[in-house]
Structure 1
Amino acid sequence: MRNLFLLFAIMPIIEIALLVQVGDIIGGWNTIALVLLSAFIGAYFVRREGVHTLRTAQQKMQSNQLPGQEMLEGLMLVVAGVLLVTPGFITDIFGLLLVLPPSRKLFAKKLKKHLSMQVVSGAGFQSHQFYQSSAQPRRSEEDVIEGEYQEKSDNDNNKRLD
């Protein structure tokens, strides 16, 4: 929760302060041109890398492999696109890091490892919480399924076949 506050409250203030500083140094119109140029270049690179990642994922699926790495990289490219289109130099730097293949692959591997650790530790907690100490599953009213059935004899089946 604290990280979201930093992201949505503090980050824009830092970006605006940096834009003002750069505007004082190179001029306001040059700063705006630089921000627009970075957005267009970033959109081009995100599109190019996205197509490449999609092709790699399709090749893996055709060879019956799960494209987990490529899915994470695709998600990172979406985030990179948002960061590169957002006005500001700090977001452009982070977006550029997510667009460049070496750093994106490194971040994707670390994120994949982190997510797999979360799934493993989460699954262990769930299974430990779900079962009692005697390893018997707990029963509750939610586990009961009610329904109706009708028993048919073999004679009914033979009559239909004739």
Structure 2
Amino acid sequence: MFRWLLLFILVVPALEIGIFIWAGGYIGTWWVIGLIVITGIMGAALAKKQGLETLNQARTQMSYGQAPAEQIFDGICILIGAIVLLTPGFITDAIGFLLLFPVTRTPIKRWLRNVLQTMLDKGTITIFRR
């Protein structure tokens, strides 16, 4: 898992710089800067909206005495999506928006749940209960 994260941290910024240079030559520097600002504003607004909806759903689940497991995964995806949207770049923006839209977030949550279950089964991570 750490290898993939390290690869992501090294490769994605290099790709982002390449895309910035290409897009700046194709549509112009000011348009690229404008797109970065617009996606940042849109992403922040969407993250806030989705985060509040998820928080309200979690509160509702807890008021019925149920654990908000689904909302926890939603919250993790929304948090990661918001964080990557704060970093300038078109690749990270695409990843961020995929994590913020409920339609595209559902298969990602399913994958995340499978990864977590696999790690629990292998003993890579453990959960302690009191």
Give the TM-score category using the shorter length: 0.7 to 0.9
Alpha-carbon displacement from aligned partner over 1:13-45 (angstroms, at most 9, x marks no partner): 100000110010110011001011000000000
Task: Give unpaired runs (5+ residues) of structure 2.
Answer: 125-130
Highest RCO, 1 vs 2 (Cα 8 Å, sep ≥ 6):
2
Q: Which residue of 2 aligns with 1:48?
A: 49
TM-score, normalised via structure 1 length: 0.71
RMSD value over aligned CA atoms?
1.4
Give the TM-score taking structure 2 as reference length: 0.88
Amino acid of the residue matched to residue 4 of structure 2? N
Aligned length: 123
Post-superposition shift, 1:110? 2.4
Q: Which runs of 4+ in 1 moved over 4 A?
A: none
The residue type paired with residue 17 of structure 2 is I
Identical amino acids, percent of aligned pairs: 31
- C-alpha separation between the residues in 1 aligned to 2:102 and 2:87? 21
Residues 1:110 and 1:2: Cα distance change in structure 2 (over 3 Å): closer
Cα deviation digits, residues 110-132 of structure 1 (max 9, x gap)? 21233123223429xxxxxxxxx
User: Does the 8 A contact of 1:42 with 1:84 survive in 2?
Assistant: yes
SS state at 1:57 partner: helix
> Does the 8 A contact of 1:69 with 1:109 survive in 2?
no
In the alignment, which residue of structure 1 is the partner of 2:33?
Answer: 32
Unpaired runs of 5+ residues, structure 1, are 124-162
